[in-house]
């Protein structure tokens, strides 16, 4: 099912939690809304689910208006599956009954419902916990039950509000793989919100970077990373340094006194700001004089920040060997992205 959001607005008091947000989400797309705490992600998802009314704008699911001027379809008429931060399990039901519930509600027999539930319970690594009540589970386990229930419901559209937030890192990455595999198989349109860019990058067909009630940029993860349209997006996604550059109008720019091949959007002016990612920087004995400002171990590699003469911001560099602050590491900037004017 496609989801269309057209200039949706929601205000609490004087604060616009969602401020003229628009997006066209295609049938089967995995669409991630990424933003810091309080940017309006949950409010937007609740508006799509029907748990929040709109002040103005319109929301359509599969071409049918579900919210707009004078219209507010209740959640049960929107046929969307939901996994929210608060897991909202039925406390009196066991794990298996919770997960089987949407299948039974869809009219399948008890036996079939329990088969499907067992499969989803296995997918979230909770086999053996079928007969427990939610009160006998940890927060992360409850979250996995909620996820299993949502997957079992086989909805055409699934809304997920940080469903992996309470999981430990190991389980989290296996659940990411599980979710990606499930999405590929079931093909349900999925709106997934997170403040974790790594998670967003891993799952999304497209990411919307949200700040202060607005979408700053919407695009494929790789495009958002390589071609950010603004300094805010560049800083929010991945490591970078943003430094002054002089553009020659033809694929190269002067950065820190050297000529660097650059990519640009529709840039024309000479004065520019260059986004430099770790992959743009290489160690080079004949390169710019630089020294390590900070360095952290990331398992197999070290992430460093370099002080370079004539460059205000420390450059990011990935090193394959140990080093310490103060060590001299000459580098070359091989490439960069120039932000639009």
In three-state secondary structure terms, 140 is: helix
Minimum CB separation of residue 191 from ligand ATP in Å reads 13
d(CA 328, CA 341): 34
Q: How far is CA 293 from CA 234, 245, 279, 312, 334, in A?
A: 21, 22, 18, 13, 20
Minimum CB separation of residue 18 from ligand ATP in Å reads 7
Token reading at 61: 């699911």
Minimum CB separation of residue 165 from ligand ATP in Å reads 9
Minimum CB separation of residue 17 from ligand ATP in Å reads 3
Q: How far is CA 91 from CA 95, 134, 149, 161, in A?
A: 9, 6, 14, 20
Residue number, 194 or 264, with CB nearest to ligand ATP: 194
Q: Which residue is nearest to ligand ATP (CB)?
A: 42
Which string of b and e fits 226-253 if b means at least 16 CB within 10 Å? bbbbeeebbebbbebbbbbbebeeeeeb
Binding mask 151-190 for ligand ATP (x = CB under 6 A): ----------------------------------------
Residue number, 20 or 119, with CB nearest to ligand ATP: 20
Query: Total residues at the site for ligand ATP (CB under 6 A)?
Result: 12
DSSP E strand boundaries for 26-88: 30-35, 56-61, 64-68, 71-72, 80-83
Long-range pairs, 252-257, Cβ under 8 A, ≥24: 253/336, 253/338, 255/311, 255/333, 255/336, 256/288, 256/308, 256/309, 256/310, 256/311, 256/333, 257/288, 257/310
Q: How far is CA 164 from CA 175, 176, 194, 289, 292, in A?
A: 8, 8, 9, 43, 35
Minimum CB separation of residue 40 from ligand ATP in Å reads 4
Binding mask 194-233 for ligand ATP (x = CB under 6 A): -x--------------------------------------
Binding part of the chain for ligand ATP, among 12-20, 141-149, 151-159, 276-284 by CB under 6 A, reads 12-20
Which of 7, 12, 92, 115 lies at the binding interface for ligand ATP (CB under 6 A)?
Answer: 12
Residue number, 11 or 65, with CB nearest to ligand ATP: 11
Residue number, 199 or 280, with CB nearest to ligand ATP: 199
Helix (H) or strand (E) holding 18: strand 15-25
Minimum CB separation of residue 36 from ligand ATP in Å reads 7
Minimum CB separation of residue 307 from ligand ATP in Å reads 34
Which of 8, 17, 203, 306 lies at the binding interface for ligand ATP (CB under 6 A)?
Answer: 17
Residues 99-138 that bind ligand ATP (CB under 6 A): none
5 near ligand ATP (CB under 6 A) = no
Residue 279 gets which letter from DSSP? G
Minimum CB separation of residue 172 from ligand ATP in Å reads 16
Residues 206, 29 contacting (CB under 8 angstroms): yes
Binding mask 23-42 for ligand ATP (x = CB under 6 A): ------------x-xxxxxx
Q: By the criterion CB under 6 A, which residues form the site for ligand ATP?
A: 12, 15, 17, 35, 37-43, 195
């Amino acid at each position: 099912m496609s989801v269309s959001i057209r200039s949706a607005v929601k205000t609490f008091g004087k604060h616009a939690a969602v401020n003229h947000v628009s997006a066209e989400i295609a049938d089967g797309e995995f669409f991630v809304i990424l933003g810091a705490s309080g940017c309006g992600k949950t409010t937007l998802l609740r508006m799509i689910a029907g748990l929040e009314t709109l002040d103005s704008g319109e929301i359509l699911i599969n071409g049918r208006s579900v919210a707009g001027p004078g219209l507010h379809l209740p959640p049960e008429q929107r046929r969307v599956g939901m996994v929210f931060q608060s897991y909202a399990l039925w406390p009196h039901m066991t794990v298996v009954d919770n997960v089987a519930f949407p299948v039974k509600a869809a009219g399948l027999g008890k036996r079939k419902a329990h088969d499907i539930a067992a499969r989803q319970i296995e997918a979230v690594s909770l086999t053996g916990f079928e007969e427990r009540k939610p009160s006998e589970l940890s927060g992360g386990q409850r979250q996995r039950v909620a996820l299993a229930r949502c997957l079992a419901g086989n909805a055409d559209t699934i809304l997920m509000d940080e469903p992996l937030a309470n999981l430990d890192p190991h389980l989290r990455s296996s659940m990411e793989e599980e979710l990606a595999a499930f999405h590929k198989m079931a093909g349900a349109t999925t709106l997934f919100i997170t403040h974790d860019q790594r998670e967003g990058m891993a799952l999304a067909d497209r990411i919307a970077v949200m700040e202060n009630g607005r979408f700053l940029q919407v695009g494929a993860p790789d495009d958002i990373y390589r071609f950010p349209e603004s300094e805010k997006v560049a800083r929010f996604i991945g490591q970078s340094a943003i430094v002054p550059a002089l553009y020659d109008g033809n694929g190269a720019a002067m950065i820190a006194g050297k000529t660097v091949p650059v990519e640009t959007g529709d840039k024309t002016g000479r004065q520019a700001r260059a986004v430099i990612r770790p992959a743009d920087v290489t160690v080079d004995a004949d390169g710019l004089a630089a020294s390590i400002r900070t360095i952290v171990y990331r398992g197999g590699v070290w992430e460093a920040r370099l002080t370079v003469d004539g460059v205000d911001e420390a450059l990011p560099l990935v090193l394959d060997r140990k080093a310490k602050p103060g060590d001299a590491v000459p580098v070359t900037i091989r490439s960069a992205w120039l932000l639009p004017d």
